[in-house]
Structure 1
Amino acid sequence: MPQAKPLQSLLALSALASPALLAQAADTLRQVTLHPQGATIERALALAPQAREARFSCLSPELVADSLQLLPAADMGVGEVRLELKPAELLPECERGSKVRELEHQSRQLQAESEALAVSLNFLKQLTGKDLPPGGKLSETLETLRRQTLDQLQRQQALKERMEALDRQLAQAREQEGDQRQYQVLTVPVDTVQGGELRLRYRSEQAGWTPLYRARLDTTTGQLSLERRAEVSQSTGEDWSNVPLRLSTELGRTQGGPGYLSPWLLDIRPKEELARREARPLPAPMAAAAPAPAVQMLKESVTVAGSRARTDFRPEVFVGEFATEYAIPTRQRLLSGAQPLQLSLGKEAVETAVYSRVQPQVDSAAFLIAELARPAGSWPRGKLQLYRDGLLVGETQLFFSGEQKADWVFGRDDRLRVRRLPERLDGANAGLISQRQERQVERAYEVENRTDKPLPLLVLEASPVSQHADIRIEALLSPEPQAGDWREQRGIRAWRQTLAPKQTQRFSARYKLSAPADAQVTGWR
């Protein structure tokens, strides 16, 4: 009987193998889209012809189960999805792309360096007198050995301290990732003849990105550049190594709606009901409730050895009808639970009006203001750092409200000196016939330009506003301010002009107020 050739035997065994076994290739992380509140993750699995089952392992234990979507190839059928939580010990194919894994790698490197130092010190200790040169070179050789031994011992002590600090961080990280030592495994029966790709898409609330901005003002040219940045992080427990990343301004799953608009109903209460309400005794006053205990929030931080990762790049921008997406051109390595990664999303020049603002009634100081309208594009709310000529001078929140202009304060403007002169008050009665009380108020300010170049200036004054027909106000402002209220704020008047070099400008406001003599006027000074 002829013997089967080895190749023919191997092909025969392959033909007898279960089609389901041929389908158990590892899935790949195809795409991660981060939102300000969550992430959308997409994985892909290549299925062999005649495959009967698909298996996605190493999924986040905290994934949103009702967000699972299976996207099969053409002519591929899928059955009922089964999701099972398994410990990491039963899933050797799952690499923990986490802070624990990173710290363990650093610990192994330090251990190897420690062993190398031990070998070097052992060699120095084993040197004997027969190994030393005779004559006058002995003292020189001993000094060299002393310096080398001291250097090795100091390095060994420093290395020991680093290893102890790393062990503390590792213990803390392992405690935090205690629940993440397990993974979700998704299995689903499939029906495919030619095989193909099966994609899985789901959401996780343990990842996201935070918008950050940097505004840089050049006071020499008056130019303002605005840089978009993103701080991305994840604590899903998944391995996000070499991952294609997209950032979306869409919030993802948002709840709520416009709410219910109640009708405005007017009615006249029946006299019988009104009489019953008036006859009802008043309830006894309740004792004041004890104040709630204050809760002290402690911010817990875990540091990882090494500098914070930063990547500068120019992403591809996709502007949609409801959101904007940034496609990061390079693949990223984002560890679970590690420090956030900062990414640059590009910068652009912004049209702005730069001037100095003075509000003497509030502060005897001038502030440098950049006034700008909302730039084109999507600008989610986020922290804004303000740089003036390269120096960080403040932080605020970037938030554009409708068509209203934004004012960014780039610190005090010491190029101007502001003097607030004493306020003059004079009050009297207008006489027995008119039966009115009067008050006269006079304010004056001086603003000096101490530089050798012209400076644009805005001075704001809060003028009195009558809330009653019997309250009369006469105002005289010098020089003549801009017409109307500043930005439609009642009573706020504005002087806007450019101060010449070394110029001192005086601003004054005189008010004559009158009201009935027996009236109690709020705001009366």
Structure 2
Amino acid sequence: MLNHFVQTSEPLSRRLLSKSAFSLSLASLAFFSINTAQSAPSSIEKITIYQGLASVTRALPTSGGGEQTLVFSCLSPFIDQNSLSVQASSGVNIGEISTETLSGEQAAQCQYQADAAVQTKQNSLAEITAELEAARLAKAYLQNLTKVTQISTDGTPSSNARDIEAQAAAVNKRILAIQQRQALAQDELNQLMAGSATSTGTTVTQVSVRTASRTPAAVKLHYQVRGASWEPTYQARLNTNTEQLNITASAIIAQQTGENWSNVPLTLSTVNPNQNTSSRLPRVKRLGLYDESRGKIARSAAPVMEAMPVVVSGEADYAGADQPNRAPLPSFTVSSQNKNGIIEYRLPQRVSIPSDGRRVRTVLDEQSGASKLWLRSTPSIETAAYWYASAPFITPAWVDGSLQLYRDDNYVGQSRYSYQTLKEQGIGFGIDPNILVKEIKDDDKQGDKGVFNRTQTLTTTQAYQFTNQHNKARQLQVLGSEPVSRDDDLKVTVTHTPPVTERNWNDNQGMVAWEFTLPSKQSAVIQSTSQVSYPADKILTGN
């Protein structure tokens, strides 16, 4: 009996290895079968993001073996079901389209399906688990073999038994090492899943499409989903020595649609789908006459309002530019297209945007060139002067957004990018402490009203001094105002010293502007005197 166990234990290492490999193969095969049994996620061919919603195009292949039902699984619960449409190439017949909402375990399985990093880590963890199970099986086998060997030798020490115990000890060490790798892989997976968690809650949408075809083809599903948006943001950098201005336009993208968008082609559109799609009709007065004899009013029929039009936009499929075989570096230059006032920005690279609200930023455009610099002061409001720069290269294609301002590589604050305003008034870059502004006179004098005096007057005088402490001359623009009469009995006379350069500045009635060069280390004074006369029996009003 002892000889039998000794003989069978001689090829023990080889047999254990074979057993472990067999167990590992079974575990790996089971894992592979589970994954392939799941519905294959559809590929995203195009996403266009608007303000507050996104238009998504997905695709699934047909086998071409006749009738087949395609299942677009793990879609957002916020899909606008009225926007669903299906397209396919010729030769594919499309039948009914059904939509259902899934919850519970089915929704949980979808949560990380589109996250490639999570899937990779899950595969790695499954392999480690299979390896651990195989090692535990080998340990159990060795334990049983050791017990049988000890019983067979009637307590007599045996080199074969000691050899088995040594192998068992080695298996124990291997199990410990595998458990440590498993714990580390599980922690990494937990971190990934925490970082890519979606906002789907407990529901997802599933769309089933009945098809029939004789050859393999692709079926595309189009839909709109809320929870996605993008906003423009700008950075303006001014060099006051070279008088160069650079403006960078970027887009900040975020989405909480419930779908994790991984490595997808993206287009940003400036159109706002929430705005009115048609103009309003004018009001028509319906007149009638009261008939006293009948005691009632003749009424006309209420006008029939036209139905709001349904706007359907068809967009070409995304087609990335052909890349050369030996490109030194990928280009991230965004292409733009103006479609009669609607600007589309198409990103050349594929991007990943999880559905957790994180903000993804990408550069859309960049413009730079020579700028005209000046210092502007409105001393009646604030005794200070501000840097300003013209931007002749700005474009109305850029939509309004926040504007970060840098002067000589220093962040000076933020403003608002508005094409019309910046084109007319320039871009402000903060206070210049080297231009000193001082108020030297601000007097109001009320004229006396006598018994025989039928008018009264109000005289106002304002004067300000500007001092240039720069080492070079600076162009200065001073904005002021003068009273505007809205009554024929109210007379206004204004004297400016020196004379103003422009009245009704930028088409603003009553605003005036002085523009002049202020030499280095010198001062200049501007004075305005206004006289208002009006009947003594009236009260002067206005701001």
Show the counterpart of 1:453: 472
The yes-or-no answer on 1:240 pairing with 2:261 is yes
The match for 1:324 is 343
Q: 1:368 aligns with which of 370, 387, 392?
A: 387
Alignment match, 2:68:
52
Helix, strand or coil at the partner of 1:405: helix
Cα distance change of structure 1 residues 26 and 493 upon mapping to structure 2, 3 Å threshold: closer
1:184 corresponds, among 196, 205, 211, to: 205
* DSSP 3-state at the match of 1:421: strand
Q: How does 1:19-34 map to 2 (within 5 A)?
A: 26-34=41-49
Superposed CA offset, 1:350-393 (max 9, x none): 66432111111111111112344683351122111111112111
Correspondence for 2:270: 249
Q: Deviations over 1:143-194 (max 9, x none)?
A: xxxxxxxxxxxxxxxxxxxx9xx99x98x979x9574343211112112122
Q: 2:221 aligns with which of 189, 197, 200?
A: 200
| Counterparts of residues 269-308 of structure 1 (less than 5 Å) | none
CA contact (8 A) 2:41 2:74 kept: no
Separation (CA, whole Å) in 2 of partners of 1:370 and 1:267: 61
Judge conservation of contact 1:97–1:237 (CA < 8 Å) in 2.
Answer: no
**One-letter amino acid of the structure 1 residue matched with residue 535 of structure 2:** P
- Looking at structure 1, the residues matched to 431 and 114 of structure 2 have their Cα atoms a distance apart, in angstroms, of 45
Structure 1 position 426, deviation (Å): 2.5
Of 97, 103, 107, which aligns to 1:81? 97
Q: Alpha-carbon deviation of 1:434?
A: 4.5
CA distance in 1, matches of 2:359, 2:422: 33
**Aligned-partner SS, 2:447:** strand
Alpha-carbon distance in 2 for matches of 1:396, 1:237 = 33
After TM superposition, what 4+ stretches of structure 1 lie above 6 angstroms from structure 2?
264-269
Measured after TM superposition, the shift of residue 328 of structure 1 is: 1.5
Matches within 5 A, 1:468-487: 468-487=487-506
Report the Cα offset of residue 29 of structure 1.
1.2
The separation in 2 between residues aligned to 1:382 and 1:493, in whole angstroms, is 29
On the 8 A contact 2:396/2:419 being kept in 1, the answer is no
Amino acid at match of 2:42: D
Matched, 1:383 2:402: yes
1:221-277 superposed Cα distances (whole Å, 9 cap, x missing partner): 2222111111111112223111112222122354454323225799999xxxxxxxx
| Structure 2 residue 363 is matched with structure 1 residue 344 | yes
Which consecutive residues of structure 2, in runs of 5 or more, have no partner in the other structure? Answer: 1-35, 129-183, 291-329
The one-letter amino acid paired with 2:238 is L
Aligned counterpart, 2:58: 43
Q: Among 58, 72, 97, which residue is 2:88 paired with?
A: 72
Using a 3 Å threshold, how does the CA distance of structure 1 residues 511 and 178 change in structure 2: closer, same or farther?
closer
Q: What letter matches 2:265 in structure 1?
A: P
Q: Find 1:62's aligned residue among 78, 95, 118.
A: 78
The residue aligned with 1:359 is 378
TM-score (normalizing by structure 2) = 0.67
* Cα drift, residue 93 of structure 1: 7.2
What residue number does 1:6 align with?
none
Instruction: Give the superposition deviation at 1:416.
Output: 0.4
Other-structure match for 2:295: none
Q: Distance in 1 between matches of 2:284 and 2:108?
A: 62
Task: State the shift of 1:446 in Å.
Answer: 0.7
Distance 1:312 1:364 in 2: 48
Aligned 8 A contact 1:80 1:188 in 2: yes
Asked if residue 334 in structure 1 is aligned to residue 353 in structure 2, the reply is: yes
Contact 1:96 1:237 in 2 (8 A): no
Mean Cα deviation higher: 368-377 or 313-322: 368-377
Instruction: Give aligned-pair identity as a percent.
Output: 26
Measure the CA separation in 2 of the matches of 1:337 and 1:55.
25
1:495 alignment partner AA: W
Amino acid at match of 2:54: A
The AA in structure 1 aligned to 2:206 is V
Equivalent runs, 1:101-112 vs 2, <5 Å: none
Q: Could you tell me how far apart the structure 1 residues matched to 2:390 and 2:199 are? A: 50
Contact 2:331 2:348 in 1 (8 A): no
Q: Quote the residue 2:527 is aligned against.
A: 508
Quote the offset at 1:341 in angstroms: 0.9
Q: CA, structure 1 residues 390+51, in 2 after alignment: closer, same or farther (shift >3 Å)?
A: farther
SS in 2 for 1:418: strand
State the distance in 1 between where 2:501 and 2:286 align.
44
The aligned amino acid for 1:419 is K
Q: 1:263 to 1:376 in 2, by over 3 A?
A: same
Kindly name which structure, 1 or 2, has the bigger radius of gyration based on alpha carbons: 2
State whether structure 2 residue 482 is matched by structure 1 residue 466: no
Q: Contact 2:76–2:200 at 8 Å: present in 1 too?
A: no
Offset of 1:432 from its aligned partner? 4.6
Q: Distance in 2 between matches of 1:352 and 1:265?
A: 58
Q: Secondary structure at the match of 2:506?
A: helix
1:238 corresponds to which letter in structure 2? Answer: E
In the superposition, the TM-score normalised over structure 1's length comes to 0.69
Q: How does 1:12-23 map to 2 (within 5 A)?
A: none
Taking the aligned partners of 1:514 and 1:265, their CA distance within structure 2 comes to: 49
Any conservation in 2 of the 1:97–1:336 contact (CA below 8 Å)? no
Which secondary structure state, in structure 2, belongs to the residue aligned with residue 422 of structure 1? strand
